[in-house]
């Protein structure tokens, strides 16, 4: 007997009611959004300061010219990759248990991918010249590839969120009569006149399938290209042919953790214990074990291969990581943020919702700092010594505006997820029903 | 009080000593008597001063600074300011000799500048001295021949052939120096003396690259006592070389216009391919709407 | 008094008969534009120029002089991107001669309007790991023939020209700093804040060959003083050196000129006789800057 699919006792009306109940603008929501908005405005003030005074307000300098903005960008791209893994790979393999959480995964993907694009703009010295990328774009530059794939990925993820949601939007249109007028109109528009005909389902499934196939290469390239921003340079520490798969595997770890956190949040706040069960957490935990194992494997490769050969520059880089300047952060991230959590979730009790969520938070934090470790130390170990510049340039510490702008990106993600989760049901209602009927008929 | 005075005396003494030592550093430099009395055969006019200034700014400012500004580089021994008294106290011949021959950290400019160009620099230095009155050599009774030069190239022995004539007669024992004009300076090919037929040979490295026809711009100077002549012309003495642009071909680092074709195709085919599929789906959404009307 | 003057004049005439006194012999002042157009003939292409007494006049392109302040941005941009035909500029740095006088750094920073912490040219103290000694190494942009910085630029803001110089167009740079990350020589620097003298430079027309005025939020780096080369003058750093460290010239001519002594020597001989090397040749960047090794006895 499988807990995940134990929904026989629920009636269709009950399901509709349970899952639609979150689509409202309650006081709690308003309070939360108010809090987010105020925080965002505070952070945007710092961005205004950066626009006025230049990137000099950050802790960046000539030797660490990419700092936490770029690390954060890599982290966001990484996290957004999970949408592909959960909805596409597992969905196409007919892994049924992911169906209730696939929309959460897509929400996370869309939100993180959208904001990733904005982070790149905050890192630009001349954001006013953004259009130059389209006017004078150069096909040889990985940045141009990156922009192309990020934009494409956002579009595909949005479509992949939207198209399978059509029946649920129609349900909202039909059942939610007490929402504001604009919202009803929106459902009306977005539902495309859905009325559950077989042909509509056939078309929807066809398009979804196309998207699911399309998203795999795009999702892989979005993160591979992001890794190429580093791997295409001649810097030791970045100049590594395994960076593509290394980043992709790391992305799944971060993404799984983010989805687990989102699942827990929705489950407890939206009272969805019957739909997002502890069995879902158990399985997500196992998925996390799998992807973390692959990631640990890549991490070992990444350190052991250059460390063994110890050519001059690489040896310095590896030494800094293992024993030197960056060692505290390195070991905290590798052991505390990856290996120990990985070992813990091998045990079943640790895969219960609350413990797993706590571990996921630690893993996600570790994943963020891991990106800093990828981006920053390499730049601090250039081939030629750092001389004739201010003392501070031989290190890097982010400033308040920099941290605030980074926090702003997280606030934006939360806002996007919150709004979307308030406009649409976070668990695909029609899929839950279909699965239930399918089980009952068995 | 008395002590104080004594200190002042000591300091004064030290300063005097330093000053003397400084002057000594300059006067230390023994210039042979003959060179010391050497005089410029040219009158230091505005043209010379101007040219001397260009040469000075290119080659001397880095150590000696701008004359009169006392902004020379602190070195040991100090290079000094050419407008300063101890500089101007020297004879023209001494200045000429020192610039030409160099010593320790003062470079030797013999190969960089011909004699007339060295005199340009002396003229420029003298232009900062209001009291300077140029001493000119005694030219009375000196007959100065006017030289004409004919340049040719002997391919068999890779030699530049310089024939020096004065009123159609070959001139012997004329010092000839030949240069190849580079973008930023002239490269000394060699120096030679004319034989009794008035011919001097200068070796040319056959590996020296020229233009597509093997031509380089050659400058030849001939001097003997007060007689001087120079000729500058393009001569095919070097190896014919085809010059390539540094950005020929298609590379990853080329501009977008010159991007590798495989890359352009791959990029645009994949981007447009995916977006075509996406647009297909977006337009396909209308079918969903239509599917309702049919039912 | 009168007599003396007269005497001088007659002598002058006499000397002029020698035929040299007035002849122009300074090689450096020849216009480099010869390659693309006849230097003496008007090209018909006119640009606006600001004269020394602040008057705006139109001058034919063929008659431009080193000190001219050209006011025509599109002309400067076009000229900057095209480069000088037939040339391939190279630099040779003789480490044995460098005594860390830093005149080059000073000249560079003042020419390019750089703040003290910004370096197009940085004199580094390098450790020799074998001999346990140290030596001074001036490090400029290497103007690579396979430039990793140019490869990654998303907007063609940095590019390589036909004369081998890698330049930056700070009118186009978006400030992504990918080039800074990609350069293994750390040769690039960024205008993190408002550049030096930005209010004074506000009206100056941008010349990418000098990369002045600097602009906030854009990258800057050594340009081999392309603005000087155009007029046959040596780069700022090269002519500022008091110690004869720098040679600069055209690889196609196989001639390089020492900035201090003005002596012009054969590039190939200089490199061969002194066991010249380039920085990190294993990276395959193919630098245009060569180094002659530091003196053995030093340290």
Q: Is the pLDDT of residue B24 over 70?
A: no
Which residue does chain A place closest to B280, by CA atoms?
A207
Cis status, amide bond into B251, omega within 30 of 0: no
| Local confidence pLDDT in tens for the 299 residues of chain C | 344 343 444 444 444 444 433 333 333 333 333 333 344 566 677 888 877 677 788 888 877 777 778 888 999 999 999 999 999 999 999 999 999 999 999 999 999 999 999 999 999 999 887 878 899 999 999 999 999 999 999 999 999 999 999 999 999 999 999 999 999 999 999 999 999 988 888 888 999 999 989 999 999 999 999 999 988 999 999 999 988 999 999 999 999 999 888 889 999 999 999 999 999 999 999 999 999 999 765 44
User: What mean pLDDT, rounded, does chain B reach?
Assistant: 85
Report in angstroms the alpha-carbon separations of C89 from B180, C256, C261, C262.
18, 9, 19, 17
CA distance C70 to B264: 37
CATH 2.60.40.10 boundaries in chain B: 147-236
Structure tokens belonging to residue B154: 């002997």
CA distance A226 to C178: 12
User: Residue A315: its pLDDT value, please?
Assistant: 81
User: Residue B4: its pLDDT value, please?
Assistant: 64
| pLDDT single digits (tens) B97-106 | 999 888 888 8
Contact list, B45 vs chain C (CB under 8 Å): 12, 21-22
Low-confidence residues in chain A, pLDDT < 70: 1-9, 441-442
CA of B197 to nearest chain C CA: how many angstroms apart? 23
* CA angle centred on C209, ends C205 and C214, rounded to 5°: 55
Cis status, amide bond into B77, omega within 30 of 0: yes
CB contact under 8 A, B284 and A139: no
Domains of chain A and CATH, by start: 20-433 (1.20.1630.10)
Identify the residue with better confidence: B3 or A169. A169
CB contact under 8 A, B112 and C17: no
DSSP, residue by residue, A16-58: HHHHHTT-S--HHHHHHHHHHHHHHHHHHHHHHHHHHH-GGGS
Stretch (H or E) spanning A153? helix A142-162
At the top level of CATH, which class does the domain C89-292 belong to? alpha beta
3-state percent helix, strand, coil for chain C, nearest multiple of 5: 25, 20, 55
User: Residue C4: its pLDDT value, please?
Assistant: 39
Contact list, C32 vs chain B (CB under 8 Å): 183
Interhelix angle for A166-175 vs A198-231, to 10°? 120
Please indicate if any CB of chain B lies within 8 Å of the CB of C77: no
| pLDDT single digits (tens) B73-113 | 888 788 888 888 888 888 888 899 999 888 888 888 888 88
CB burial of residue A112 (10 Å; 0-12, 13-18, 19+): buried
User: Residue C68: its pLDDT value, please?
Assistant: 75
B147-236 — its CATH code? 2.60.40.10
Please indicate if any CB of chain A lies within 8 Å of the CB of C119: yes
CA distance C111 to C210: 8
CATH 3.30.70.20 boundaries in chain C: 89-292
Residue B37 — very low, low, confident or very high, per pLDDT cuts 50/70/90?
confident
Exposure string for A282-291, b = 16+ CB within 10 A, e = fewer: bbbbebbbeb
Stretch (H or E) spanning A149? helix A142-162
CB proximity under 8 Å: C 28-67 to B: 28-29, 32
Contact list, A232 vs chain C (CB under 8 Å): 151-152, 182
Please indicate if any CB of chain A lies within 8 Å of the CB of B246: no
| pLDDT single digits (tens) A405-438 | 999 999 999 999 999 998 898 888 888 888 777 7
| pLDDT single digits (tens) A307-336 | 888 777 788 888 888 888 888 999 999 998
User: Residue B63: its pLDDT value, please?
Assistant: 84
User: Residue C292: its pLDDT value, please?
Assistant: 95
Q: What is the ipTM of this complex?
A: 0.89
| pLDDT single digits (tens) A176-213 | 888 888 999 999 999 888 888 888 899 999 999 999 99
Of C182, C189, C194, the CB nearest to A62: C189
CA of A216 to nearest chain C CA: how many angstroms apart? 26
* CA angle centred on C52, ends C49 and C55, rounded to 5°: 55
Sign of the torsion angle spanned by Cα atoms C284, C285, C288, C292: negative
Q: How far is CA A296 from the centre of its chain?
A: 19
Q: Do the Cβ atoms of C149 and A142 come closer than 8 Å?
A: no
Instruction: Enumerate neighbours of B (3 or more CB pairs within 8 A).
Output: A, C
CA distance B56 to B79: 14
User: Residue C179: its pLDDT value, please?
Assistant: 95
Contact list, C176 vs chain A (CB under 8 Å): 123-125, 143
- Closest-CA residue to A430 (of A22, A158, A103, A84): A103
| pLDDT single digits (tens) B121-146 | 999 999 888 888 888 887 777 778 88
Please indicate if any CB of chain A lies within 8 Å of the CB of B262: no
Exposure string for C70-104, b = 16+ CB within 10 A, e = fewer: bbbeebbbebbbebbebbbbbbbbbbbbbeebbbb
* CA angle centred on A251, ends A247 and A252, rounded to 5°: 125
Helix (H, G, I), strand (E, B) or coil at A80: helix
In CATH, the architecture of B31-126 is Orthogonal Bundle (1.10)
Q: Where are the beta strands (DSSP E) in B2-72?
A: none
User: Residue B8: its pLDDT value, please?
Assistant: 67
Query: What are the backbone angles phi and psi of residue C91, rounded to the nearest 5°?
Result: -125, 145
CB contact under 8 A, B281 and A136: no
Please indicate if any CB of chain A lies within 8 Å of the CB of B249: no
Q: Do the Cβ atoms of A12 and A433 come closer than 8 Å?
A: yes
DSSP, residue by residue, C210-273: TTBS--TT-EEE--TTHHHHTTTPPPHHHHH-SS--EEEEETTTTEEEETTT--EEEHHHHHHH
CA distance A411 to A44: 11
CB burial of residue A71 (10 Å; 0-12, 13-18, 19+): buried
């Amino acid at each position: 007997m499988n807990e995940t699919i134990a929904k026989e006792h629920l009636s269709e009306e009950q399901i509709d009611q349970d899952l639609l109940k979150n689509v409202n603008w309650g006081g709690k929501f308003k309070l939360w959004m108010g809090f987010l908005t105020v925080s965002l405005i505070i952070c945007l003030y710092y961005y205004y300061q950066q626009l006025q005074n230049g990137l000099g307000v950050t802790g960046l300098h000539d030797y660490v010219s990419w700092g936490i903005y770029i690390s954060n960008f890599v982290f966001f791209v990484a996290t957004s990759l999970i949408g592909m893994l959960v909805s596409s790979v597992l969905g196409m393999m007919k892994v049924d248990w992911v169906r209730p959480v696939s929309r959460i995964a897509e929400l996370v993907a869309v939100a993180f991918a959208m904001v990733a694009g904005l982070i790149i703009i905050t890192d630009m010295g001349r954001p006013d010249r953004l259009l130059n990328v389209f006017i004078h774009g150069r096909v040889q530059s990985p940045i141009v590839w990156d922009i192309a794939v990020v934009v494409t990925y956002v579009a595909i993820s949005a479509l992949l969120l939207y198209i399978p949601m059509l029946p649920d939007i129609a349900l909202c249109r039909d059942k939610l009569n007490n929402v504001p007028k604009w919202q009803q109109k929106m459902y009306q528009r977005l539902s495309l006149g859905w009325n559950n005909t077989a042909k509509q389902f056939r078309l929807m499934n066809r398009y979804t399938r196309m998207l699911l196939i399309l998203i795999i290469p795009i999702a892989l390239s979005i993160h591979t290209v992001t890794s190429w921003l580093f791997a295409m340079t001649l810097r030791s520490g970045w100049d590594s042919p395994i960076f593509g798969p290394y980043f992709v595997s790391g992305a799944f770890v971060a993404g799984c953790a983010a989805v687990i956190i989102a699942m827990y949040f929705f489950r407890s706040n939206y009272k969805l214990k019957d739909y997002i069960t502890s069995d879902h957490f158990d399985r997500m935990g196992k998925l996390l074990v799998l992807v973390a194992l692959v990631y640990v494997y890549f991490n070992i490769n990444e350190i052991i291969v250059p460390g063994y050969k110890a050519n001059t520059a690489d040896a310095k880089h590896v030494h800094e990581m293992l024993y030197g300047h960056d060692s505290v952060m390195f070991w905290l991230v590798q052991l505390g943020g990856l290996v120990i959590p990985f070992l813990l979730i091998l045990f079943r009790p640790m895969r219960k919702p609350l413990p797993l969520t706590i571990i996921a938070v630690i893993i996600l934090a570790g994943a963020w700092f891991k990106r800093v470790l990828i981006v920053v130390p390499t730049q601090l170990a250039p081939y030629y010594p750092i001389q004739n510049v201010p003392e501070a340039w031989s290190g890097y510490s982010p400033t308040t505006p920099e941290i605030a702008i980074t926090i702003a990106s997280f606030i934006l993600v939360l806002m996007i997820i919150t709004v979307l989760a308030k406009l649409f049901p976070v668990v695909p209602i029609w899929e839950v029903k279909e699965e239930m009927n399918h089980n009952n008929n068995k | 009080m008395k002590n104080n005075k004594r200190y002042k005396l000591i300091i004064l003494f030290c300063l005097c000593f330093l000053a003397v030592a400084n002057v000594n550093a300059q006067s230390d430099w023994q210039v042979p008597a003959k060179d010391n009395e050497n005089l410029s055969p040219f009158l230091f006019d505005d043209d010379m001063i101007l040219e001397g200034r260009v040469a000075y700014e290119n080659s001397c400012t880095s150590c000696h600074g701008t004359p009169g500004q006392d902004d020379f580089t602190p070195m040991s021994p100090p290079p000094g300011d050419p407008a300063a008294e101890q500089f101007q106290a020297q004879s023209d011949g001494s200045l000429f000799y020192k610039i030409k021959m160099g010593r320790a950290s003062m470079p030797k400019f013999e190969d960089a500048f011909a004699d007339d160009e060295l005199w340009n620099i002396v003229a420029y230095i003298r232009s900062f001295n209001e009291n300077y009155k140029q001493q000119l050599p005694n030219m009375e009774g000196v007959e100065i021949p006017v030289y004409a030069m004919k340049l040719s190239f002997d391919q068999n022995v890779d030699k530049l052939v310089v024939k020096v004539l004065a009123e159609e007669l070959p001139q012997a024992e004329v010092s000839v120096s030949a240069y190849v004009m580079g973008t930023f300076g002239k490269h000394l090919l060699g120096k030679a003396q004319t034989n009794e037929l008035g011919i001097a040979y200068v070796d040319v490295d056959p590996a020296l690259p020229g233009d597509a026809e093997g031509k380089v711009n050659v400058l030849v100077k001939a001097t003997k006592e007060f007689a001087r002549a120079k000729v500058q012309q393009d001569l095919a003495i070097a190896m014919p070389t085809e010059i390539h642009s540094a950005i020929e071909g298609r590379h990853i680092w080329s501009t977008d216009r010159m991007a590798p074709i495989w890359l352009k195709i791959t990029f645009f085919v994949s981007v447009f391919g995916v977006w075509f599929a996406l647009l297909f789906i977006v337009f396909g959404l209308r079918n969903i709407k239509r599917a309702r009307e049919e039912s | 008094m009168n007599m003396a003057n007269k005497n001088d004049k007659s002598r002058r005439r006499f000397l002029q008969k020698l035929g040299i006194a007035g002849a122009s012999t300074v090689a450096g002042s020849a216009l480099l534009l010869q390659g693309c157009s006849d230097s003496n003939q008007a090209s018909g292409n006119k640009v606006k120029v600001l004269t020394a007494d602040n008057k705006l006049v139109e001058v034919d392109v063929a008659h431009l002089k080193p000190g001219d302040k050209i006011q025509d941005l599109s002309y400067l941009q076009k000229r900057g991107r095209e480069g000088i035909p037939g040339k391939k500029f190279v630099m040779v740095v003789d480490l044995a001669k460098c005594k860390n006088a830093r005149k080059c750094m000073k000249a560079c920073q003042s020419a390019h309007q750089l703040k003290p912490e910004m370096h197009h040219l940085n004199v580094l103290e390098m450790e020799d790991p074998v001999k346990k000694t140290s030596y001074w190494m001036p490090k400029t942009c290497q103007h690579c023939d396979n430039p990793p910085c140019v490869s990654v630029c998303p907007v063609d803001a940095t590019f390589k020209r036909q004369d081998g110089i890698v330049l930056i167009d700070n009118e186009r740079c978006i400030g992504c700093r990918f080039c800074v990350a990609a350069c293994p020589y750390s040769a690039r620097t960024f205008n993190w804040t408002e550049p030096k003298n930005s209010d004074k430079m506000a009206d100056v027309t941008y010349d990418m060959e000098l990369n002045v005025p600097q602009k906030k939020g854009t990258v800057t780096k050594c340009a081999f003083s392309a603005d000087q080369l155009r007029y046959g003058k040596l780069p700022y750093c090269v002519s500022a050196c008091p110690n004869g460290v720098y040679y600069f010239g055209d690889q196609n001519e196989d001639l390089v000129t020492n900035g201090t002594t003005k002596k012009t020597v054969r590039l190939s001989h200089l490199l061969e006789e002194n066991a010249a090397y380039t920085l990190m040749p294993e990276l395959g960047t193919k630098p245009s800057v060569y180094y002659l090794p530091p003196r053995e006895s030093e340290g």
